[in-house]
Structure 1
Amino acid sequence: MTSRTPSPSRTASLPESRSESLPESRTESLPKSLPGASAAADQAHPGGLPPRLFLVLIAVCTAVTAANIYVAAPLLPLMARDFGSTPSGVAWIASVAQFGYAAGLLFFAPLGDRVNRRRLVAALSLATAAALALGATASGATALAAAVLVASAATVVPQLLVPLVAARAPAHRRASHVAALIAGLFTGVVAARVLGALAGQAFGWRAVFLGAAVLTAVLGLASAAALPREDQRRGGPLFAGLAQLPGVVRMSPELRRACIRQGGMYGAWSALWTSLALLLTGHGDGGYGMTTGAAGLFGLFGLAASLVAPVAGGLVDRFGVARVVASAYVLAAVSVPLFWLGGQRLWALCAAAVAVHAALVASHIANQTLALTTTSTPAVANTAYVVAGFAGGAMASALAGTAFTHWGWHGVCAVAAGCLAVGWGVTSLRTRR
């Protein structure tokens, strides 16, 4: 007597092109299984940790590793004084971190589908820690920039862990588990900007780099040890995942939609948030005349993202991706006129900062959950998604800088509004077609 239960090999993977036949309304419900999903997702992980403790460890590791991308930015004045330069003379070091992270996303993040994650997470964590430690001993801006480039390229551990957590989560709790990691990521970004600046003022920027190196090594190795064992991984060329990117994006309308919409949302956020310091520290009619330290404390509004993340994850699990993304876009659209009014009213600026962070994280959780569940190669799809968002943010930041120079804060708000219009309008037209 033969069983009609489908074999694991037939249910373990989903065809990459299956999303072509799904209408827009089907994105309201996410698939109940993912490639590599464990049938015992609610049981203890092979690493020996209970599920809740495992999730907490991975979220904390995500926070620390994400902070490494932004750790140099608030320390630039201290670095300039140490190297006998000016803050504008070393400001390019922060940009190097962004380019390094982009390179790491392209080359390392797709490896999650092909190699053992335990070894990969451990190796990247040690490489990041070593680069940060070398950066702490740098005698000049060039040597420091080289160390920051390597550290930021290797600190892509969060984008290796998010697909794994999503794959092993129960179907009805998947977005909530992803939200826990996103909350950790945004907490790390805030900590890098606020706590990094305070610690640097008290102990020096070199001590901050050494502390980041120690935390990265300890949490990275602990997370690697707690990850489930993966004895069978796909063979083939090591960087085949990078070559797969165009095909995976082309075959999945849902992934393209997630990439475009998050690129528009992240672009709007980047345009406003990266230009905000110019408004806060400016004098006369073009600013509030705050000190650099006081302006830096505005970063605490980023904590709104960490608080909203668990709520957003639950809403995605309950109402689906499409509704949450649409609501996030509405909230972001409301924040733009508030930011415009914030050019003269500080209360409007504070309200807008909370609203745009809440919109960003809600959209991010929904779109990333969709990206992770729409193909049979979640690590490759996640790479495409994150790179698309990063590209949208980078282009918007460049446009916002030019807009502020020519048209002031109102020009920045116009760039943000344009990003939202493109992100939503392009995908809406494609959906109708």
Structure 2
Amino acid sequence: MTSSEAKSHNAENEKELSDVSGGGTVTPSSLRNNSPPPESQSPPPPPPPQPSRTRKVYNFLTWTPPQCRWDPEKPPQFSMPLNILFAFAAGFTVANLYYTHPILNILAEDFGVDYEHVAQIPTVMQAGYASGLLFLCPLGDLLPRRPFVVGLVGFTATVWLGLCLTNNLEVFTALSFIVAVTTVTPQLMLPLVGDLAPPHRRAAALSIVVSGLQLGILIARVLSGTMANFVTWRAIYWMSFGLQYAIFILLWLFMPDYPSTNTDLNYFKLLWTIVKMMGRHAVLVQACLAAFFTSATFTSFWTTLTFLLAGDPYHYTPLTVGLFGLIGILAMCFGPFYARNVTDRFHPHLSVLVGLFCCLVGVSLGTYIGPFNVSGPVLQAFFGDFGMQTAAIANRASIYAVEPKRRNGVNTAFMVFTFCGQLVGTAAGNHIYASAGWIGSGSTSLGFIGLAILTMVARGPWETRWVGWRGGWSFRKRENVGAV
């Protein structure tokens, strides 16, 4: 193509473009500017609403680390570190109820009131704990236990801060009641141990947690009485505040999730079914009665021991009396070894009887040697605490088999009888000691232990009815036989 033909061809193209564009010159930029406008776009969706502060707290509490999440194909393993964590948590949460016992006179002086005004604090806390047992513990069968337990521990620790700071006795008493209500987390952990631990290790696992629970009761008195001799009583409460938040963090990080076992029940029906259990399961009634009588001897001893050791012929100081708790701690350290080697291998009925006979020996020695020689109370502290713990662990191992989906309800019934026994033991021990002395109160404890033994002897391990020994006298475990 010649240059003249090329110019002519370009001129024709420009004319066609000019005709299409209405006579104007078309350039690449004009083509872009004259392109049809884009279709109208819908406005972007509004951002999701921000969760409220309450929802943020709930989401935080209910968040579960990946290793703790529930997987029905691979349920969490109840390892020894987790067992020890539960024991530690049980011990230093139940200790909240007992820090005030050795320091009531110091509290009276600090608040500027009479001793009678502060003496009501332990009673108020016992009433709060009883309320928690009755109205919070059954919820463990209705709610997922991980957020429930972690939330209760966090709430208790936060309210405890008020006890560390307040200078008003009325506020201190009211807050003491509230924290006592929510200090029932150990009684929520024990049924969870029954769910998580394999059957062949259940008694040993329960024994470790119960040992932590009992150690917390004794350590609280020892720590409180000892520290009050050197620092202010508020240092004890600040220590407890730090321990409770440490427990909160550890449970939040490591406590395994476990689904609710009774989603079809409502709260009031849940409470009523606990009453109905007592009419269905003879072994539950038997365990509850034995716990009632045994716990009465425990609190009667530790309540009246102070009176004995502070008077003739001992005249011990409060610090020395408080150190007697170490004897009970030593006895309870043997509990897990006994449970692993005996309770897990034989029917729990055998260990209940062994524990009760240990209590009988301890109370007998303490009652009739105690007025003359300190070896009596020492032996009673050792045998009594070991026997009570052994019987309680064996009873729990037995009753947790009656209704696997209602273990919190079963535990509630057991603990209500235990707590009532403690109240009776405290009241009876103080009253009888005032009128008949150490031997009088100790003889009453012998009567309580005798009734507990009679309760266990009246019904054998394989009996399907309420009284008798049908099924044999053997205590060896049998396959596929549950509690009745």
Matched, 1:175 2:203: yes
Post-superposition CA distance 1:99-139 (Å, at most 9, x none): 11111111111111110111111221122112221112222
Q: Can you give the 5+ residue segments of structure 2 that lack an aligned partner in the other structure? A: 1-69, 459-465, 470-484
Matched, 1:274 2:300: no
Q: CA deviation at 1:37?
A: 12
- Paired with 2:354 and 2:246, the residues of 1 have a C-alpha distance of 39
One-letter amino acid matched to 1:329: L
Instruction: Select the structure of larger CA radius of gyration.
Output: 2
Q: Which residue of 2 aligns with 1:141?
A: 169
Q: Which residue of 2 aligns with 1:128?
A: 156
Change (3 A) 1:174 1:40: farther
Post-superposition CA distance 1:77-120 (Å, at most 9, x none): 22111012344441221122211111111111111111011111
Q: Which residue of 2 aligns with 1:308?
A: 334
Q: Can you give the 5+ residue segments of structure 1 that lack an aligned partner in the other structure? A: 1-35, 46-50
Find the residue that maps to 2:257 and give its secondary structure. coil
Q: Which residue of 1 aligns with 2:230?
A: 202
TM-score, structure 2 as length reference? 0.76
Post-superposition CA distance 1:315-341 (Å, at most 9, x none): 210122111111111111111221121
Q: CA deviation at 1:171?
A: 1.2
Change (3 A) 1:240 1:282: farther
Total equivalences in the alignment? 389
- Paired with 2:331 and 2:118, the residues of 1 have a C-alpha distance of 29
Equivalent residues of 2:297, 2:425 under 8 A apart = yes
- Paired with 1:194 and 1:319, the residues of 2 have a C-alpha distance of 35
Q: Which residue of 2 aligns with 1:325?
A: 352
Q: Which residue of 2 aligns with 1:431?
A: 467
- Paired with 1:326 and 1:138, the residues of 2 have a C-alpha distance of 47
After the TM superposition, which of the residue ranges 418-427 and 372-381 deviates more from structure 2?
418-427
Q: Which residue of 2 aligns with 1:222?
A: 250
Give the counterpart of 1:299 among 309, 320, 325.
325
- Paired with 1:233 and 1:357, the residues of 2 have a C-alpha distance of 34
Q: Which residue of 1 aligns with 2:33?
A: none
Post-superposition CA distance 1:11-41 (Å, at most 9, x none): xxxxxxxxxxxxxxxxxxxxxxxxx997856
Q: CA deviation at 1:149?
A: 0.9
- Paired with 1:39 and 1:329, the residues of 2 have a C-alpha distance of 42
Q: CA deviation at 1:243?
A: 2.1
Equivalent residues of 1:186, 1:305 under 8 A apart = no
Give the counterpart of 2:451 among 417, 422, 426.
422
- Paired with 1:122 and 1:297, the residues of 2 have a C-alpha distance of 32
Q: Which residue of 2 aligns with 1:60?
A: 88
Matched, 1:263 2:299: no
Q: Which residue of 2 aligns with 1:110?
A: 138
Q: Where do 4+ consecutive residues of structure 1 move more than 4 Å?
A: 36-41
Equivalent residues of 1:255, 1:371 under 8 A apart = yes
After the TM superposition, which of the residue ranges 229-238 and 186-195 deviates more from structure 2?
229-238
Find the residue that maps to 1:201 and give its secondary structure. coil
Q: Which residue of 1 aligns with 2:409?
A: 380
For residues 144-159 of structure 1, what are the structure 2 equivalents within 5 Å?
Answer: 144-159=172-187
Q: Which residue of 1 aligns with 2:315?
A: 289
Identify the structure with the greater helix proportion.
1
Find the residue that maps to 1:408 and give its secondary structure. helix
- Which structure is richer in relative contact order (CA contacts within 8 A, separation 6 or more)? 1
RMSD (CA atoms)? 2.1
- Paired with 1:123 and 1:166, the residues of 2 have a C-alpha distance of 21
After the TM superposition, which of the residue ranges 410-419 and 234-243 deviates more from structure 2?
234-243
Give the counterpart of 2:378 among 340, 350, 372.
350
- Paired with 1:220 and 1:253, the residues of 2 have a C-alpha distance of 38
- Paired with 1:346 and 1:37, the residues of 2 have a C-alpha distance of 55
Equivalent residues of 2:77, 2:196 under 8 A apart = no
Post-superposition CA distance 1:197-244 (Å, at most 9, x none): 223333322222122122112213421442322345533323543222
Change (3 A) 1:233 1:188: same
Identity %: 27
Q: Which residue of 2 aligns with 1:394?
A: 423
One-letter amino acid matched to 2:359: A
Change (3 A) 1:37 1:156: farther
TM-score, structure 1 as length reference? 0.85
After the TM superposition, which of the residue ranges 170-179 and 208-217 deviates more from structure 2?
208-217
Find the residue that maps to 1:219 and give its secondary structure. helix
- Paired with 1:166 and 1:360, the residues of 2 have a C-alpha distance of 20
